[in-house]
Amino acid sequence: MLKIGIAGARGLSTMMGFEAIEGVKVTALCDLREDFLNAQAKQYNIPHTYRVFEDMVASDIDAVVIATPMQLHVPQALTALSAGKHVLSEVTAAVTMDELWWLKEAVEKSGKTYMFAENYCYMPFTQLVKAMVEKGLFGDVYYGEGEYIHAVPSLATYPDGTYTWRKYWQLGVRGTFYPTHSLGPVMQWCPGDRVKTISTYTSGHHTGSGMRQDDSTVTMCQLASGKLVKIRVDCLSPRPHNMTGYALQGTQGAFESARSDGGKHLLWLDSFGETVERAQWRDLMDYTEYLPERYRNATAEQRAAGHGGGDFFLVADFVNAIRTGQPPEIDVYKACEWTAVGLLSQLSVMNNGKPIDVPDFRNAATIQSQEIRL
């Protein structure tokens, strides 16, 4: 039996995924809010509760889901790894560049599974595009976009008016503070590539939010191959949540995600046989025969886990990596690289969009190779 502990009640979003896998059980839940903790444990039939993370890690669990505020992700991951536990960490991976190096080194030393829980990479439509890229249907992919547009200023305060952690660690910094939802899927459409250089620009302050975070922020990413990726993060502009803002361009096709509720994910491929001048967009979801088999054959229980089954398959990949000892799809190196794009964007925007090189986390072996130069 693989025993799982969840830190932060927000991590209960993984419950249905774990429950759908034979030989896996969530046996522990940790949260500071005692009344809420006990109520959630009772609702989900979780036998053990903790208010102190270290106490939960000291128990007989095998793996921990870290779904606490982002400034706790690395300290808690280091504690869990040093105790011999596997880690599934929510986004972002860290809040400083030093933390990223600590995390990478701790994972390598521990020999345990660390997986980055970037669930946008597991949504069915992003997996469908990924499969079509792998089959060469887009030709040579050379440009992508990702957007995270979600107004959250109300989350910066508690009901009593005191500030939450988001006031400081998200809306209290400049740059693309929350990059991985935007970047993750696009990078999966560029297999084997990595972000080499970034430049960040903002719109400034117009909404009167009183936050250090600019109203809208755009980061341009040049990949090692020369491909270009644009990501936008906007958590202050007054507009409805836009969850799926993605685009992809290749030599033989293009993709545009739905930009509104009820909209369609749009696809055009040269193989449709139309001239570009007369080409018509088609519905991406009419081509689900290209979806990975496990998505096409997902059970109702698996789909119910969230994001069209994506939440189940993320958890399933984590469990499989533990059981096989194979690296997970979204490993610590991708977690560090994608998170670093946001952290380094803070330097770029405060230096008038100056290009900043992103370290190669997979191959950085010396202190010198970890340096950031302006």
Domain count, the chain: 1
In a domain, 148, yes or no: yes
For 353-368, what is the mean pLDDT?
93
Can you read off the two tokens belonging to residue 216?
A: 């809208």
In a domain, 108, yes or no: no
In a domain, 89, yes or no: no
Q: What is the tens place of the pLDDT at every residue in 83-113?
A: 999 999 999 999 999 999 999 999 999 999 9
Share of the chain above pLDDT 70, in %: 100
With bands split at pLDDT 50, 70 and 90, how would you rate the model's confidence at 223? very high
| Domain CATH number, residue 200 | 3.30.360.10
Residue with tokens 């046996």: 27
Q: What is the tens place of the pLDDT at every residue in 243-264?
A: 889 999 999 999 999 987 788 9
pLDDT computed for residue 229 by the predictor: 98
Whole-number average pLDDT of the chain: 96
In a domain, 68, yes or no: no
Q: What is the tens place of the pLDDT at every residue in 302-336?
A: 998 888 889 999 999 999 999 999 999 999 999 99
Query: How far, in whole angstroms, is CA 152 from its chain's centroid?
Result: 18
Residue with tokens 């958590």: 235
Closest CA to 146 of 285, 242, 283, 225: 242
pLDDT computed for residue 236 by the predictor: 97
In a domain, 35, yes or no: no
The model's pTM: 0.97
In a domain, 149, yes or no: yes
User: Is a pLDDT exceeding 90 seen at residue 369?
Assistant: no
pLDDT computed for residue 15 by the predictor: 95
pLDDT computed for residue 365 by the predictor: 80
- Cβ(36)–Cβ(43) below 8 Å: no
CA distance 262 to 18: 30
In a domain, 151, yes or no: yes
Range of the domain at 208: 121-296
User: Is a pLDDT exceeding 90 seen at residue 171?
Assistant: yes
In a domain, 39, yes or no: no
